[in-house]
Amino acid sequence: MVMRNVHVFSINILTMVGKKEWKVTDIPDLSGRVAIVTGGNTGLGYITVRELARNGARVYMLSRTESRALAAIEKIKTELGSELKPEIEYINFNLLSLKSAKKAAEEYMQREQRLDILVNNAGIMATPYELGPDGIEMQACNGTGHFALTVTLIPILKDTAAMPGSHVRIVNITSGGYMLANMTKPDFTSLEGLNQKTFGTWGRYGLSKLTNILLTNELQKRFTAAGINNIYCLAVHPGAVNTELSRGLLESWPFLAPLRRVGRMMTTNPDRGALTQLYAATSPEVVEKDLKATLLFPIAQVEAKASIAKDKDGKLGGDFWRLCEELMRQKA
């Protein structure tokens, strides 16, 4: 997994020779915009919250542990300095709970009148097989939890899209590891199919990251069918980044702990790793190039989707959408 990501990263660097690389300083003024970032208290989410706030957006950090979130918010405010007066708020959000995700969205809509940027960043990787509080395999919650949050937020996303000068972004963080789903037989028609244990740790991770892309596809398809043309849904693979996401690896294979230093040498830092999702969330090029339902690899490069992610007949995406709707009726 890590080696493949490093390989992809190297290819993208080579293809960018002679081309100006997108930088964090290319983020436009975001004054008046409001954003949500899940998992914003650490890693890529932390950098995303900080840079959106630095450029004038009011940002809601959605994460599970309030003490960690509030500490992260104070750290960001210190980094940015008192002159900027960054606006960052906290809402409790547990990716493993459909009820929590729905409640977080409802609380947000009680507090705000618009939502310009939604970055579904929170994630779990390579954890041992375990069911969450809703009876959903924990890695599968990468997809189901963000479905519950995003679909509940659709009314305010649509309202924002109808406002003058708006261009709404939904950014779903996936991984090049979605290709591991090719080693499985995806079945999103039932909870039993979603929870299949036989796929192994990496197979389940690949399926969860595939659902992030399928959600992107389905959201864009539905907005287009409704005649809404200024909501841009993108899936982003950030590359191999040194974040807390690797904790799951050590839970599954504790003997890898001595290799953590080697792993850090093979990965990039969160500041660089967050560039592609910041590009997707803010760059005017997304509109200029009409990057709807697009998959981006680092740094800010369009990547062709594998057949399983293209989902041309819409079966996988449709099955996943209907299953999530049913799970929300039962559990949220």
| 103 among known catalytic residues | no
Q: Phi then psi for 78, rounded to 5 degrees? A: -65, -45
What does the DSSP 8-state code read for residue 131?
B
Helix (H) or strand (E) holding 63: strand 58-63
Q: Which of 102, 103, 209, 221 is catalytic?
A: 209
Instruction: Give the dihedral of Cα atoms 76, 102, 294, 291; nearest 10 deg.
Output: -70
Q: Among candidates 90, 100, 84, which has minimal Cα distance to 134?
A: 100
What Rg do the C-alpha atoms of the chain give, in angstroms?
18
Helix (H) or strand (E) holding 34: strand 34-38
Q: Which of 205, 232, 279, 292 is catalytic?
A: 205
Q: Among candidates 33, 326, 38, 290, which has minimal Cα distance to 157?
A: 33
N- to C-terminal Cα distance for the chain?
34
Task: Give dist(CA 162, CA 247) in Å, integer.
Answer: 41
| 209 among known catalytic residues | yes
Q: Among candidates 234, 246, 176, which has minimal Cα distance to 210?
A: 176
Task: Give dist(CA 304, CA 314) in Å, integer.
Answer: 17
Positions marked catalytic: 205, 209
